[in-house]
């Protein structure tokens, strides 16, 4: 029997109630502020993903530079501008604009062919690849590729183009001349960034969400995250190795030294298996590099953080041509970290290497090899080094600027303002706040540490408000959530200002409070995050036969035996409305021994297929397990009368949501 | 009645397998050195492949001697055994098991995705994908797979086709969609599906007790081919259809369907059927576990009494004496004349479960080890 629940007077609820009372007045003011904020601009997603709508003219078009490349001759800078959906071509000497090339929706990755004759750009929202002739500065072809294409590289021989597909967890291998897809290679979950080795023989693929644990039984969910670097033979286009990244969730750009003997990848090392009780001593995250290759032997993980200052959200990485330095953009710390490679190698030679191969817990380590931290703009992402290694270009995504760093002085020599709006809107301020670790204790975490690219991280966390060791909760996707209040799995937060304000400040940041307008801007940004296009829906939104059958099951009122299904035991009753939630609390029989309550808010179904694992604590690895394992008493809808074919149909329909 | 008969035959098959496994001593590793064959000079005997057999057992590193299936991937040999998936590479065996993420220790079937190099393994506990050393497993609990006992698997393009103890299925690797095929949406009468062979135009299923199921990819149409005489023990209408409904294995190559049953074998060219029985072919036994066509006219049959090769006209059988256990080879010509060929090596065991090709060489899965037949001439 499914029970419509109510919030009981538990210990944690009492705390929540007090918090609610404390902020009630503030929330009202903030909501009023939201209504009254002037200057609406294009809402953004996944790092300034614009959503074009009928009132587009009212929106502000920021450039949001995400990646930068230098032409092989060093004469040009190609800047991938995600929000204005274009590539800006700058003269690398004068920084004057040579051209602007419009590409597809929400571009994310960019690569040059070996000779620099063509530039490839992935468009993550319309699943295409723009092929640009760099002499004509024009798109010569647009190829259809896989789901949410991200990283891209072309092999040196010009035989294949490799595209990382974030949604389908693979790398597509395309004919470099025709764009016809020949095959897809399995990568880690949410394949995102690709790097060609200096000799052109290997391609290295990273991914931003951890891989599902193959050994987990489904009855437990507290295993360390596992990620990998997928190594692809460029000639055979086959996976030849997988470099394991233990306890890592969130892997970004990878770079090689010119001699190919040192590989470096930027990554997050979350501490989600222990209660999030404090931020001291790296309580929530370590931000690290994994080094691999002949120079280091077995892969080794080294921290970027300092004792009282963290290196939040490393993203881009580059190695000087003479292998003297490693440069890392810290997207959350708004700076570029500089590592002295000889000192790093000395550190590795002299320090006893832990059996795990990880120094991530040693906050004193970085003092041995980090030599500078160079402040740049908001949310620095991609970076590129000049051929002589003396100039470093950094794309400041949320400033619409490029920092040009003189690597001899380790200072910003100049800042290039990309042409565009000079007004910093409320929405943009909110996005800057979202992506900054500035507000947390010692700058350790920001919203985007767990909500990578404004999504989620695929992890389960033990948060303090509910008590330590209890109420383990799965991190939820931030997509189209503006109308699904209340928030939290237990529905404890009535609105986003509460969710993002005092609670976040107290239990996450453990530091300074947002000002009222800062919180208002942040909430405005989060409310603006749309749902990305659903890849399981057919063009025109018609349903496949399996989806049609699944829809009938979703909406059915009688079971297989003709017996009426109680209202609250129908899929469509709780999962109703545009986001697939009635926003009410129910007990669906998923309470664990460590849970204070078994009553949880009905989660929205928006792009549900992308958001695994499932249930409040992430115990269901797949949609199937929700019903094959965790619904023995039909509390989570009447499903035990279904045969396997029907369950598959139901899942096919859910994927269209 | 029909179901009762089917169960009886299955019980007999299991008994035969057990007796065969117990009656013959374990094969031993033999010297791989090449030696000239004494029978090479025989006249009027059709030229059939002569092999030097090198047999691998647990003593050599094979995970388990009961080998259900074998797969050749270039220089790499995969062996699905009763206790893990073995990979023979550079002269050494490596074992993947459940601790590595394999769905179950008993690996019943294997298929290679030639485009990506990924290996798919059907096990007693689900379907596993082995890709660059990483294993992802699909079960009836965590995926749309209809049943955890996966007797057969075949990769074709972006689709992985499976044969399970509860119907057939297809996983689309691009969309993640599972499509299930059973008595509700195909002509299948029984859902015990033993084997599958998929190509871009057609997919064929071997259904234990329900003949051969044919799926036409372009139209999505299903057809079933059944034994026309519907007799479980007799073949009344020879060459007029499938030899028997209890189909154990199927192989589709060059537009030809090769079918193995527990009561003889068949070849189907899309229009005509040709049946093979011990009484009028070179088959050492009608009880056939596995068939693999090399092309339209050449096929290998794995029976409970040895390995048979058919070249379109003549037959060769590779086996061991049931009494002396000495290796034996016979050749049967088109007229039915059988010639014994002296040999010094033979496969590890007469109970054959699978075969695959490596150039001119063969690899054979048996109940007492894995055999490598090195082509001598």
A186·B132 Cβ contact <8 A: yes
Chain A residues lying within 8 Å of B135, measured CB to CB: 214
A241·B133 Cβ contact <8 A: yes
List, for residues B79-128, the tens digit of each pLDDT value: 999 999 999 999 999 999 999 999 999 999 999 999 999 999 999 999 99
Is the pLDDT at A16 greater than 80? The verdict is no
Which residue out of B74, B144, B165, B173 would a mutagenesis test of the A interface target, given it has the greatest number of A Cβ atoms within 10 Å?
Answer: B144
Q: What is the 3-state secondary structure (H, E, C) of chain B?
A: CHHHHHHHHHHHHHHHHHHHHHHCCCCCCCCCCCCCCHHHHCCCCCCCCCEEEEEECHHHCCCCCCEEEEEEECCEEEEEECCEEEEEECCEEEEECHHHCCCCCCEEEEEECCCCCCEEEEECCEEEEEECCEEEEECCCCCCCCCCCEEEEEEECCEEEEEEECEEEEEECCCCCEEEECCCCCCCCCCCEEEEEECCCEEEEEEECCEEEEEECCCCEEEEECCCCCCCCCCCCCCCCCCCCEEEEEEEECCEEEEEEECEEEEECCCCEEEECHHHCCCCCCCEEEEEECCCCCEEEEECCEEEEECCCCEEEEEECCCCCCEEEEEECCCCCEEEECCCCCCCCCCEEEEEEECCEEEEEECCEEEEEEECC
B129·A242 Cβ contact <8 A: no
In this structure, which long-range contacts are made by residues B261-265, counting pairs with CB atoms below 8 Å and at least 24 apart in sequence? B261/B286, B261/B288, B262/B9, B262/B13, B262/B286, B262/B287, B262/B288, B263/B232, B263/B233, B263/B235, B263/B287, B264/B235, B264/B288, B265/B291, B265/B301
Confidence of residue A218 (pLDDT cuts 50, 70, 90): low
Chain B residues lying within 8 Å of A185, measured CB to CB: 116, 131
Is the pLDDT at A1 greater than 80? The verdict is no
Bigger pLDDT: B40 vs B282: B282
List, for residues A169-182, the tens digit of each pLDDT value: 999 999 999 999 99
Is the pLDDT at B264 greater than 50? The verdict is yes
Q: Are A334 and A395 in contact (CB under 8 A)?
A: no
B129·A186 Cβ contact <8 A: yes
Measure the CA–CA gap between B121 and A279, rounded to whole angstroms.
Answer: 45
Size of interface A-B (CB pairs under 8 A): 83
pLDDT (average), residues A248-275: 97
Q: Is A534 on the interface with B (CB under 8 A)?
A: no
3-state secondary structure of A97: strand
Q: What is the 3-state secondary structure (H, E, C) of A176-192?
A: CCCCCEEEEEECCCCEE
Mean pLDDT of chain A: 90
Q: How far B103 CA sits from the closest chain A CA (Å)? A: 9
B116·A185 Cβ contact <8 A: yes
> Residue B234: which residues within 8 A CB-CB, separation 6 or more?
none
Q: How far A262 CA sits from the closest chain B CA (Å)? A: 22
Q: What is the 3-state secondary structure (H, E, C) of A476-514?
A: CCCCCCCCCCCECCCCCECCHHHHHCHHHHHHHHCCCCC
Chain B residues lying within 8 Å of A182, measured CB to CB: 115
Mean pLDDT of chain B: 89
Chain A residues lying within 8 Å of B182, measured CB to CB: 645
Which residue out of B76, B113, B116 would a mutagenesis test of the A interface target, given it has the greatest number of A Cβ atoms within 10 Å?
Answer: B116
Quote the tokens at residue B113. Answer: 């995705």
Calculate what percentage of chain A has a pLDDT beyond 90.
Answer: 82
Q: Is A137 on the interface with B (CB under 8 A)?
A: no
A241·B179 Cβ contact <8 A: no
Q: Are A596 and A185 in contact (CB under 8 A)?
A: no
Closest CB to B141 among A230, A609, A624? A624
* Sheet with B134-138, side-by-side order of all strands: B107-112, B119-123, B126-131, B134-138
- CA A317 vs CA A255, A290, A296, A314, A326: distances in Å: 6, 11, 18, 8, 7
A186·B179 Cβ contact <8 A: no
Chain A residues lying within 8 Å of B180, measured CB to CB: 644-645, 648
List, for residues A599-644, the tens digit of each pLDDT value: 999 999 999 999 999 999 999 999 999 999 999 999 999 999 999 9
List, for residues B250-263, the tens digit of each pLDDT value: 999 999 999 999 99
> Residue A547: which residues within 8 A CB-CB, separation 6 or more?
A536, A649, A652, A653, A655, A656
Q: Is A144 on the interface with B (CB under 8 A)?
A: no
Give A60: exposed, middle or buried? Use CB within 10 Å, 0-12, 13-18, 19+. middle
Q: What local confidence, expressed as pLDDT, does residue A35 receive? A: 37
List, for residues A517-544, the tens digit of each pLDDT value: 999 999 999 999 999 999 999 988 899 9
Measure the CA–CA gap between B275 and B96, rounded to whole angstroms.
Answer: 39
Q: How far A209 CA sits from the closest chain B CA (Å)? A: 16
Measure the CA–CA gap between B10 and A238, rounded to whole angstroms.
Answer: 41
B182·A651 Cβ contact <8 A: no
Q: Are B250 and B204 in contact (CB under 8 A)?
A: yes
Q: Are B331 and B48 in contact (CB under 8 A)?
A: yes
Give A21: exposed, middle or buried? Use CB within 10 Å, 0-12, 13-18, 19+. exposed
Is the pLDDT at A398 greater than 80? The verdict is yes
Q: What local confidence, expressed as pLDDT, does residue A540 receive? A: 85
Which A-chain residues 628-657 have CB contacts (< 8 A) with chain B? 628-629, 644-645, 647-648, 651-652, 655
Q: Scanning every residue of chain A, which has its alpha carbon at the shortest distance from the alpha carbon of B185?
A: A645
Q: How far B101 CA sits from the closest chain A CA (Å)? A: 5
Q: Which domains does chain A have, with CATH numbers?
A: 7-59+425-528 (1.10.760), 545-654 (1.10.760.10)
Q: Scanning every residue of chain B, which has its alpha carbon at the shortest distance from the alpha carbon of A650?
A: B144
B143·A215 Cβ contact <8 A: no
Measure the CA–CA gap between A110 and A455, rounded to whole angstroms.
Answer: 21
Closest CB to B141 among A185, A214, A218? A218
ipTM for the complex shown:
0.89
- CA A363 vs CA A245, A335, A409: distances in Å: 19, 19, 26
pLDDT (average), residues A87-109: 97
Which A-chain residues 545-604 have CB contacts (< 8 A) with chain B? 546
Is the pLDDT at A320 greater than 70? The verdict is yes
Chain A residues lying within 8 Å of B142, measured CB to CB: 218, 621-622, 624-625, 628
Q: Around B130, how many Cα atoms within 13 Å sit in the side-chain half-sphere?
A: 25
Q: What local confidence, expressed as pLDDT, does residue A539 receive? A: 85
Q: What local confidence, expressed as pLDDT, does residue A237 receive? A: 97
* Chain B residues with a Cβ under 8 Å from any Cβ in chain A: 99-101, 115-118, 129, 131-137, 140-144, 146, 158, 166, 173-180, 182, 184-185
Is the pLDDT at B1 greater than 50? The verdict is no
Confidence of residue A216 (pLDDT cuts 50, 70, 90): low
Q: Which of A242, A284, A559 is nearest to A446 (CA)?
A: A284
Q: Which of A276-280, A388-392, B151-155 has the lowest mean pLDDT?
A: A276-280
pLDDT (average), residues A215-243: 87
List, for residues A561-608, the tens digit of each pLDDT value: 999 999 999 999 999 999 999 999 999 999 998 899 999 999 999 999
Is the pLDDT at A451 greater than 80? The verdict is yes
pLDDT (average), residues B60-65: 98
Is the pLDDT at A31 greater than 50? The verdict is no
Q: Which of A622, A595, A613, A606 is nearest to A657 (CA)?
A: A606
Is the pLDDT at B9 greater than 70? The verdict is no
List, for residues A127-168, the tens digit of each pLDDT value: 999 999 999 999 999 999 999 999 999 999 999 999 999 999
The greatest distance separating any two alpha carbons of chain B, rounded to the nearest whole angstrom, comes to 60
Closest CB to A239 among B131, B180, B185? B131
């Amino acid at each position: 029997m499914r029970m419509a629940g109510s919030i009981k007077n538990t210990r944690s609820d009492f705390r929540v109630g007090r918090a609610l009372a404390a902020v009630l007045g503030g929330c009202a003011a903030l909501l009023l502020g939201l209504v009254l904020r002037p200057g609406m601009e294009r809402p953004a997603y996944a790092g300034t993903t614009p959503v074009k709508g009928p009132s587009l003219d009212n929106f502000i078009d920021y450039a949001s530079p995400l990646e930068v490349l230098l032409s092989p001759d060093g004469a040009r800078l190609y800047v991938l501008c995600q929000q204005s959906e274009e590539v800006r071509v700058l003269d690398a000497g004068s920084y004057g604009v040579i051209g602007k090339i419009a590409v597809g929706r929400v571009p994310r990755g960019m690569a040059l062919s070996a000779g620099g004759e063509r530039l490839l750009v992935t468009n993550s929202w319309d699943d295409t690849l723009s092929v640009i002739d760099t002499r004509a500065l024009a798109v010569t072809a647009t190829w259809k590729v896989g789901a949410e294409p991200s990283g891209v590289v072309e092999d040196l021989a010009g035989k294949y183009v490799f595209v990382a597909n974030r949604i389908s967890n693979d790398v597509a291998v395309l004919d470099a001349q025709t764009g016809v897809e020949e095959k897809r290679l399995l990568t880690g979950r949410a394949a995102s960034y690709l790097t060609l080795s200096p000799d052109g023989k290997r391609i290295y693929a990273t991914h931003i969400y951890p891989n599902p644990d193959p050994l987990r039984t489904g009855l437990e969910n507290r295993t360390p995250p596992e990620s990998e670097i997928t190594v692809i033979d460029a000639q055979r286009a086959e996976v030849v190795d997988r470099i394991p990244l233990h306890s890592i969730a969130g892997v970004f750009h990878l770079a090689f030294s010119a001699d190919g003997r040192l590989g470096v990848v930027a990554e997050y090392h979350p501490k989600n298996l222990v209660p999030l009780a404090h931020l001291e001593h790296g309580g929530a995250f370590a931000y690290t590099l994994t080094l691999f290759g002949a120079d280091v032997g077995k892969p080794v993980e080294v921290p970027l953080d300092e004792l009282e200052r963290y290196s939040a959200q490393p993203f881009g990485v580059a190695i000087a041509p003479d292998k003297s330095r490693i440069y890392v953009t810290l997207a959350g710390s708004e700076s570029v970290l500089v590592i002295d490679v000889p000192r790093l190698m000395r550190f590795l030679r002299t320090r006893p290497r832990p059996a795990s191969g990880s120094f991530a817990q040693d906050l004193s380590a970085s003092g041995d090899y980090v030599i500078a931290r160079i402040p740049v703009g908001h949310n620095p992402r991609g970076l590129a080094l000049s051929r002589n290694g003396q100039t470093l270009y950094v794309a400041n995504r949320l400033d619409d600027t490029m920092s040009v760093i003189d690597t001899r002085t380790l200072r910003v020599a100049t800042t290039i303002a990309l042409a565009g709006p000079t007004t910093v809107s409320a929405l943009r301020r909110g996005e800057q706040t979202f992506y900054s670790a500035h507000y947390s204790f010692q700058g350790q975490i920001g919203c985007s540490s767990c909500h990578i690219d404004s999504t989620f991280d695929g992890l389960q966390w033990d948060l303090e408000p509910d008590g330590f060791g209890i109420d383990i909760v799965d991190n939820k996707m931030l997509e189209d959530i503006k109308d699904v209040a209340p928030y939290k799995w237990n529905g404890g937060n009535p609105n986003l200002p509460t969710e993002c304000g005092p609670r976040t400040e107290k239990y996450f940041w453990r530091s300074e409070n947002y000002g009222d307008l800062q919180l208002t801007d942040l909430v405005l940004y989060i409310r603006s995050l749309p749902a990305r296009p659903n890849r399981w829906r057919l063009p025109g939104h018609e349903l496949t036969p399996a989806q049609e059958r699944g829809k009938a099951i979703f909406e059915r009122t009688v079971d297989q035996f003709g017996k009426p299904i109680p209202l609250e035991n129908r899929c469509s009753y709780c999962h109703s409305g545009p986001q697939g939630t009635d926003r009410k609390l129910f007990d669906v029989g998923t309470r664990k021994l460590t849970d204070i309550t078994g009553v949880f808010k009905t989660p929205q179904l928006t792009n549900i297929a992308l958001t695994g694992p499932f249930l409040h604590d992430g115990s269901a690895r797949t949609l199937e397990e929700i019903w094959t394992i965790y619904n023995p008493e039909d509390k989570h809808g009447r499903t035990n009368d279904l045969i396997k074919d029907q369950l598959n149909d139901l899942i096919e329909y859910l994927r269209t949501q | 009645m029909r179901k009762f008969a089917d169960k009886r035959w299955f019980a007999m098959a299991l008994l035969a397998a057990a007796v065969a496994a117990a009656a013959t001593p374990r094969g031993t590793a033999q010297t791989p050195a090449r030696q000239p064959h004494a029978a090479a000079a025989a006249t009027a005997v059709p030229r059939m492949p002569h092999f030097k057999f090198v047999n691998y057992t647990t003593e050599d590193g094979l995970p388990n001697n009961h080998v259900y299936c074998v797969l050749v991937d270039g220089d790499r040999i995969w062996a699905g055994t009763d206790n893990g998936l073995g990979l023979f590479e550079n002269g050494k065996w490596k074992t993947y098991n459940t601790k590595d993420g394999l769905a179950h220790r008993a690996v019943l079937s294997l298929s290679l995705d030639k485009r990506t190099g990924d290996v798919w393994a059907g096990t007693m506990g689900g379907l596993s994908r082995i890709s660059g050393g990483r294993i992802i497993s699909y079960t009836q609990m965590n995926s749309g797979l209809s049943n955890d006992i996966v007797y057969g698997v075949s990769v074709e393009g972006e689709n992985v086709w499976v044969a399970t103890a509860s119907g057939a299925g297809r996983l689309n690797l691009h969309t993640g969609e599972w499509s299930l095929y059973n008595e509700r949406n195909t002509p299948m009468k029984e859902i015990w599906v033993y084997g599958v062979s998929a190509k871009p135009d057609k997919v064929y299923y071997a259904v234990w007790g329900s003949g051969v199921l044919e799926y036409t990819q372009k139209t999505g149409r299903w057809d079933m081919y059944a034994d026309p005489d519907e007799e479980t023990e007799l073949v009344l209408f020879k060459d007029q259809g499938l030899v028997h409904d209890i189909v154990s294995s199927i192989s589709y190559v060059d537009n030809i369907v090769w079918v193995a049953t527990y009561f003889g074998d068949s070849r189907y060219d899309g229009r005509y059927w040709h049946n093979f029985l011990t009484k009028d072919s070179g088959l050492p036994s009608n009880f056939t576990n596995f068939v693999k066509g090399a092309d339209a006219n050449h096929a290998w049959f794995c029976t409970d009494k040895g390995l048979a090769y058919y070249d379109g006209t003549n037959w060769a059988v590779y086996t061991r004496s049931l009494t002396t256990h000495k290796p034996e080879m016979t050749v049967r010509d088109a007229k039915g004349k059988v010639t014994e060929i002296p040999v010094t090596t033979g496969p590890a065991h007469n109970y054959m479960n699978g075969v695959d090709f490596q150039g001119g060489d063969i690899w054979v899965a048996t109940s007492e080890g894995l055999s490598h037949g090195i082509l001598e001439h």
